[in-house]
Amino acid sequence: MANHKATKKDMRQAARRRERNKYYGKTTRNAIRDLRTITEKAAAGEKTPEVISMIDKLAKRGVIHKNKASNLKSKLSKRVNVLA
């Protein structure tokens, strides 16, 4: 357990950040899962920019690595483009 005032504050901040990051990560994973289940090209085309934006925000916040974000966006784009 932390003994210094600043360390206690840092632990509180880290806990808040961790909860927030878990929420954003889970929400984005659910959105990706939902996008993958869509079989109509029009619906997938409308949903894709929203999901890509969510992925970019995760990378910007440091929740996921920028290369992972790039790989996710690439795979999703390929999947949407294959739909016809």
Separation of alpha carbons 18 and 37, rounded Å: 29
Architecture of the domain spanning 5-82: Up-down Bundle (1.20)
Amino acid type, 74 = S
58-73 pLDDT, tens digit per residue, is: 999 999 999 999 999 9
Amino acid type, 8 = K
44 contacts 35 by C-beta, under 8 angstroms: yes
Separation of alpha carbons 14 and 25, rounded Å: 16
Q: How confident is the model at residue 79 (pLDDT cuts 50, 70, 90)?
A: very high
Separation of alpha carbons 57 and 79, rounded Å: 21
Q: Give me the residue spans of the domains in the chain.
A: 5-82
Q: What is residue 20's predicted lDDT score, i.e. its pLDDT?
A: 96
Separation of alpha carbons 60 and 42, rounded Å: 28
Q: How confident is the model at residue 2 (pLDDT cuts 50, 70, 90)?
A: confident
**Mean pLDDT value across residues 44-63:** 96
